[in-house]
Structure 1
Amino acid sequence: MSWIDIFVTYLFSLKYLVYGLAIILLISGIDDFFIDICYWTRHFYRKFFVYDKHEFHDYECLYDAPEKPLAIMVPAWQEHGVVGPMAELAAKTLDYENYHIFVGTYPNDPQTQEEVDQVCARFPNVHKVVCARPGPTSKADCLNNIVAAIFLFEAQAKFEFAGFILHDSEDVVSTMELRLYNHLVNRKDLIQLPVYPYTRKWTDFTSGHYIDEFSELHGKDVPVREAIAGQVPSAGVGTCFSRRAISMLLREGDGIAFDIQSLTEDYDIGIRIKEHGMEEIFVRYPVVTPEHEKAHSIWSGKNLRESSVICIREYFPDTFNTAVRQKSRWIVGIVFQGMKNHAWSKSWSMNYFLCRDRKGGITNLVGFIAVLVFTQLGLIWLVQSLSDDPYHFLSIYGDEPWLSILLKINAFFLINRIIQRFIFVKAYYGWMQGFLSIPRMVWGNIVNFFANIRALRQVIEMGDARRVAWDKTTHDFPHLDDERSARKAIGQILIDLGAITEIQLDKALKDKPRGQRLGRYLLNNQLVTSESLVKAVAEQAEVGYQNIEPLNISAGLITLISKGLAWRYGIVAVNYKSEQGVMLASEEYLSPVSLAAISRQLKCQVSYIITYPGQVQIALKAYYSGETFTDPRVGVERFELLDKNMQQQVWAQYVEGQWSLLEILSEYCNISPQVMNQILIGYEKNPLTLTDYLLDKEVISVEQLDTAIVIQAKREPNLAHLITGALNACV
């Protein structure tokens, strides 16, 4: 048999393979085309019959709703170098205050724990959770440990979180994300935001194909799924669950919310929540600020509203092997475990989208094989076209009208796919990425094919999809320069100023009681002066410092700040000018987020200065304690015997020695800074005095309060004794 006979036999076999591939691609193409029709019909209907009659929702309205407590859950196994910057950036930039970040770490991962500890030391709303079992376990197992820690924290702080948010350690969150969740969490049980990967080099097709897939998935497919079936698959990041949803998952799982054997616990939970009749929503919410409008250029190719949606940004794998590993985990979880865990429902629409989820197990293989087959046929056609007297091998296919029709229809669907992909990538990323998405479709097919092969091999080797082990993906976090410039620690600043030595700092950190601020401990033990401490705090905060007279603040300035606001942030107003706003005084650093929150409540611009130790504390006692306060200098014998200079020194000593009852309660009752911070958030608009509020919430007992008051009285200096000491020194 000649090579020609062998080749013709091969082509005949290939012919029937082409038939099979064409039919499968036709079915998949019709499926995708149906989604396209649904999306564009809905898009134009809303454009011409909804948006022309109703204005877009103004993002400023997100500030109207009172801040509900929200918990962010971040699993972290071997995420040193990533989780710290992520938690720090979120804690510094989120335009929201009533939230806490819970980072799940492992007992055998000290590097990640150390990094999280550093962030926790600077931000009282960041918590480290250590899982019960050594890592690596599954992401679901880590999340279950985090949920348990959240409920323990709630019991300590006497409150309940309204929403539970999923994030990965590499996520860069939108500053408005929590405000959007806050706006929706009472009405929706699963809220999913779009994910838009960061771009790398234009030649990096591996990470680039994630851009293409997420742009189309979260720009078109998921919105159509929500509109038709009312079900939204969680992306595992940027997902907020209501308290109702978490409670239901805990009841259903006998105290375990996330299925530890599932590799895609996020996808699994989205279906479980829908099965219980709860509400799910996918939110594309643009925040178009005047600055954004000004910077936007029509030549960029980006859509102004589409490119300004509140979303999650992160880097995706940029090597072939890591992408295949990650996608094979998704395929095992969604296709193989999904078929085992979730039976077909009574809803045709839900079954349709389950089919779409699971068809990837076939189309990932078919798409790659089709590329190989049609590449061969294309090369044969090219040889025939360039040869003078060629063998007409492709004539085998020429007398097959049905095959010709199939190929033409599939060619139409392919062109449509390219156009759809281009439109959705360009809308967010612009012209360049839109055009790059076309060749990246081929590379994406290759990645998906090998991911499917790996997933099949894993399932066959284990004999059960639920026994496939978790396979972690290595993460990158973007370098954001100024946005996460580190705040120097007070101890290091004091060393740089020459106020203390490294040996003194190490000893102080070791001996300092829990709940007591380092600066307060150093000052109380006469290791630093109030002058050096105020300089250090001002340098850390990058603001000025000033000596104020705490009992000489005008009534007008006092009424500017509410009682709850004053105690919540430890502030008093010391100046107000209509063109410059309110000048605040604080003894501690105030974050930009805190300043923004204060500014919104006062409805004017705010700035602040650092005051000497004790000055704000005595002002808070005098004006915001709810109790009668008398100037301690009034009626004190022999105070007038001191000259002006000595009077100022004695008074400065007395003020410097003032202790916050909250700090003593934190120390004596072992209340963590995180718990105390949450308590103060709850107190902000409460009419009770602070001590009555703490008693009412059962944060402390009457006996503990009495003991703390006694401790406060012992620690604070006696003005009469200071006067006597000053007079004796003059003799």
Structure 2
Amino acid sequence: MNCYFEYLRVTLSQDLASVRRIGGHLDWIEAVRPVITILQLAERELLLFAAFWFLIGAMDDVVVDLCWIWLRLTKRACAGFISREAAEAPLTGRAAVFIAAWQEEQVIGHTIHHALSVWKQAEFILYVGCYRNDPATISAAMAGAGSDPRVRVVIHHKAGPTTKADCLNRLYTALCDDERRYGYRFKSIVLHDSEDMVHPAELAVIDGAMTDAEFVQLPVWPEPQPRSPWVGGHYSDEFTESHAKSLVVRNALGAAIPAAGVACGFSRDIIARIAGLRHAEGVPGPFASECLTEDYELGVLVRREGGRSRFLRARDADGQLVATRAYFPSRLEDAVRQKTRWIHGIAFQGWDRLGWDQGFADFWMALRDRRGPLTAFVLGMGYVLLVVEGVLGIFRLVGWNSQVAISPSLRIMLLLCFASFLWRAIVRFVFTAREYGMTEGLRAVLRIPVSNIITIMAGRRALVRYIKTLRGEAITWDKTRHDVHPAHASSPTGSTR
């Protein structure tokens, strides 16, 4: 590093000496030569840095791609099937569905009404958690429930918002009270968000999988948003690739499955076991109140407690994927805020709270989950490199002809980076087009820069938020409002969970 600074000092001294000698007749290129020298050094270092880390990330992704291809060839990655009769059959045990709601009066009523209309079973209770200082959400929830006995609106004794985990723990307390009061025990607990449009076969699929698993995660399907094809649309690309490939590979490897907090079911016994661990820590329930991604952490803890986790893809009698549909953020600020919460909770808090597992598969997947901050930094440096190249390109167009020396090894790295980018674009196109059609598949490739920019902004904010929590700042439920529900929207504008 010292040699670079010495080289820079000598070069700048020589250039400034040239400036003094030429005086008033100085050519403008000679005047900016010191700037060009600095940009050349930055170009070389950024090329090395970006090429190295891009290749590391590319190798990681390609290995997952190859694993998925192998699973497809061996027919181990194919979706299951559930008939219409099985989807509407009575459950083998009682299910409790938890929804935590704060200022969700625009969507919570639609969510409850839709769930009650498509879930034909009587063996479930929908627990909706509201706050005593949020009368609008309480009213909307009660209106959506009507007189249906399968809904229970639970009002938190605390003023909101606390955290989502705290609200879920209040629902768990209500569930335990009901079990003692009525003398029965639930078989499963299912988590959902206030804006979700559930699938009619969901409860049946989860109930059937609970015979040999303690945790089941079903896919999440971001609804396309005509008014936000870029910001809102990029969620379709990321979730499709994750829930059609990455989690399939994860499931096949036997690694821990992270819970998405939506369309995920847990056995009553494993939840009770985790609640016992939390009780020893002074937490009144199975959900970590101080964690921003309590659902992710809960999924990891299932495996650590000896439970079996499964990620299931199934299609109904009409060929539709059994998945939860929802609108994701349509505005840049909302998308950045949401991903900030994910990166903060999974990468920073996950490292602090969960540590690292010993098994290879779990360790590898934990690395993938927590690479968000590094990905944001590497992408940021990549875009800085583009800016540097653009400025140097302008200088070259107007007469400056000096080029940075690229070694053979760096040239090979750059070629591999380009090839990996093409491969990544093809993979994204294939997975998005398979679920959403050719038009969205093509848009998925064009949306890659949008996804990158959101990741960069969210990574920076997550680091700032994490540092603030280290200094003692309290963690609160950082969320945005939902304005439209997928089941009752003619002109979607988007939302966030």
Query: TM-score, with normalisation over the residues of structure 1?
Result: 0.60
Distance in 2 (CA, whole Å) between partners of 1:316 and 1:3 is 47
Which of 392, 417, 436 lines up with 2:401 in the alignment?
A: 392
What amino acid does structure 2 have at the position aligned with 1:419? Answer: I
Indicate the residue corresponding to 1:292 in structure 2: none
Deviation of the 1:382 alpha carbon: 7.5
Give SS of 2:314's match: coil
Match of residue 711 from structure 1: none
Out of 205, 222, 227, the position equivalent to 1:180 is: 205
**Match status 1:425 vs 2:425:** no
Residue 346 (structure 1) aligns with: 358
Alpha-carbon RMSD across the aligned residues, in angstroms, is 2.3
Q: Indicate the SS of the match to 2:341.
A: helix
Q: CA deviation at 1:152?
A: 1.5
Where 1:122 maps in the other structure, the secondary structure is coil
2:226 partner SS:
coil
- In structure 2, the CA distance between the partners of 1:247 and 1:33, relative to structure 1 (3 Å rule), is same
Measure how far apart 1:27 and its partner are: 0.7
Q: Note the alpha carbon deviations across 1:386-413, whole angstroms, 9 max, x for none.
A: x4x73224x213x411111111111111
CA contact (8 A) 1:198 1:313 kept: yes
CA 1:464–1:237 in structure 2 vs 1: closer, same or farther (change >3 Å)?
A: farther
**Alignment pair present for 1:355 and 2:367:** yes
Query: Are positions 1:325 and 2:337 aligned together?
Result: yes
Instruction: Provide, for residues 302-345 of structure 1, a one-character-per-residue CA deviation record: whole Å limited to 9, x for no partner.
Output: xxx5xx21001000111111111111111110011000001222
- Per the alignment, residue 451 of structure 1 pairs with 458
Structure 1 partner of 2:327:
315
Distance (whole Å) between structure 2 residues aligned to residue 479 and residue 188 of structure 1: 30
AA in 2 matched with 1:266: D
1:112 is aligned with what amino acid?
T
Stretch of structure 1 that moved more, 136-145 or 367-376: 367-376
Q: Structure 1 CA distance, aligned partners of 2:487 and 2:91?
A: 31
Q: Secondary structure at the match of 2:367?
A: helix
Checking the alignment, whether the CA contact within 8 Å between 2:231 and 2:335 is kept in structure 1 is yes
Cα offset, 1:184, TM superposition: 1.2
Shift of 1:91: 0.7
Matched, 1:415 2:413: no
Displacement of 1:381 in angstroms is 4.7
Tell me what 1:599 maps to.
Answer: none
Q: Superposition pairs for residues 81-160 of structure 1, below 5 Å?
A: 81-160=106-185
SS at match of 2:307: coil
How far the C-alpha of 1:116 sits from its partner, in A, is 1.8
Q: Give the length in aligned residue pairs.
A: 456
Q: Secondary structure of the residue that 1:241 maps to in structure 2?
A: strand
Q: CA deviation at 1:9?
A: 2.6
User: How far, CA to CA, are the matches of 1:82 and 1:66 in structure 2?
Assistant: 27
Which residue of structure 2 lines up, in the alignment, with residue 577 of structure 1?
none
In structure 1, the residue corresponding to 2:447 is in which secondary structure? helix
Q: Which residue number in structure 2 is paired with residue 257 of structure 1?
A: 286
- Asked if the contact 1:458–1:468 (Cα under 8 Å) also holds between the matched residues in 2, the reply is no
8 Å Cα contact 1:324-1:447 kept in structure 2: yes
Quote the residue 2:298 is aligned against. 269
Instruction: Write the letter of the residue equivalent to 1:366.
Output: V
Q: CA deviation at 1:66?
A: 4.7
The worse-fitting range, judged by mean Cα deviation, of 258-267 and 62-71 is 62-71
CA distance in 2, matches of 1:466, 1:340: 16
Q: Distance in 2 between matches of 1:287 and 1:380?
A: 56
Distance change in 2, residues 1:64/1:95 (3 Å): closer
Q: Among residues 230, 246, 249, which one is paired with 1:205 in the alignment? A: 230
Could you tell me how far 1:383 is from its partner in structure 2?
7.0
**Aligned-residue offset at 1:214:** 0.5
State the SS of the aligned residue for 1:281: strand
1:606 maps to none
Determine the C-alpha separation between the residues in 1 that align with 2:471 and 2:249: 33
- CA contact under 8 A between 1:315 and 1:476: conserved in structure 2? no
What secondary structure is seen at the aligned counterpart in 2 of 1:199?
A: coil
Q: Which residue in 1 is equivalent to 2:25?
A: none
Displacement of 1:372 in angstroms is 3.3
The yes-or-no answer on 1:284 pairing with 2:313 is yes
Distance apart, 1:162 and its partner CA: 0.7
Compared with structure 1, are the counterparts of its residues 36 and 379 closer, same or farther at alpha carbon in structure 2 (3 Å cutoff)? farther
Separation of aligned partners in 2, 1:218 and 1:181 = 16
Match among 45, 58, 66 for residue 37 of structure 1: 66
Larger gyration radius, structure 1 or structure 2? 1
Q: What SS does the corresponding residue of 1:471 show, helix, strand or coil?
A: coil
Counterpart-to-counterpart distance in 2, 1:462 and 1:155? 38
Task: Pick closer, same or farther for the CA change 1:222–1:382 going to 2, 3 Å.
Answer: farther
1:481 CA displacement: 5.2
Instruction: Give the structure 2 partner of residue 699 of structure 1.
Output: none
Name which of 367, 374, 383 aligns with 2:379: 367
Question: SS of the residue aligned with 2:75?
Answer: helix
Distance 2:86 2:160 in 1: 43
TM-superposed deviation, 1:234: 0.5
Task: State the secondary structure of the residue aligned to 1:404.
Answer: helix
Residues 247, 217 of structure 1: CA spacing in aligned structure 2 closer, same or farther, 3 A cutoff?
same
Give the superposition deviation at 1:376: 3.9
Question: What letter corresponds to residue 361 of structure 1 in structure 2?
Answer: P
Give the C-alpha shift of residue 10 in structure 1.
1.6
CA contact (8 A) 1:73 1:167 kept: yes
Looking at structure 1, the residues matched to 216 and 332 of structure 2 have their Cα atoms a distance apart, in angstroms, of 32
Whether the 8 Å CA contact 2:190–2:264 is kept in 1: the answer is yes
Residue 191 of structure 1 is matched in structure 2 by 216
CA distance in 1, matches of 2:132, 2:258: 32
Indicate whether 1:162 and 2:187 are aligned.
yes
> C-alpha separation between the residues in 2 aligned to 1:482 and 1:22?
45
Q: Which has the higher contact order (CA 8 A, sep 6+)?
A: 2
Please tell me whether residue 24 in structure 1 is matched to residue 31 in structure 2.
Answer: no
**Kindly tell me: are residues 13 and 371 of structure 1, through their superposed partners in 2, closer, same or farther at Cα, counting changes over 3 Å?**
closer
Query: Structure 1 residues 45, 380: closer, same or farther in 2, change over 3 A?
Result: farther
TM-aligned CA distance change 1:189 to 1:14, over 3 Å: same
Aligned 8 A contact 1:334 1:358 in 2: yes
* Aligned-pair identity (%): 29
Give the partner amino acid of 2:311: F
Q: CA deviation at 1:467?
A: 4.2
Structure 1 residues 118-150: Cα deviation after superposition (integer angstroms, max 9, x where no partner): 234421111110112110000000000001111
Shift in CA distance, 212/375, structure 1 to aligned 2, threshold 3 Å: farther
Cα 1:70/1:9, change in 2 over 3 Å: same
1:14 CA drift (Å): 2.2
Q: Tell me if structure 2 keeps the 8 A contact 1:72–1:164.
A: yes
Contact 1:207 1:318 in 2 (8 A): yes
| Structure 1 Cα separation of the partners of residues 262 and 468 of structure 2 | 30
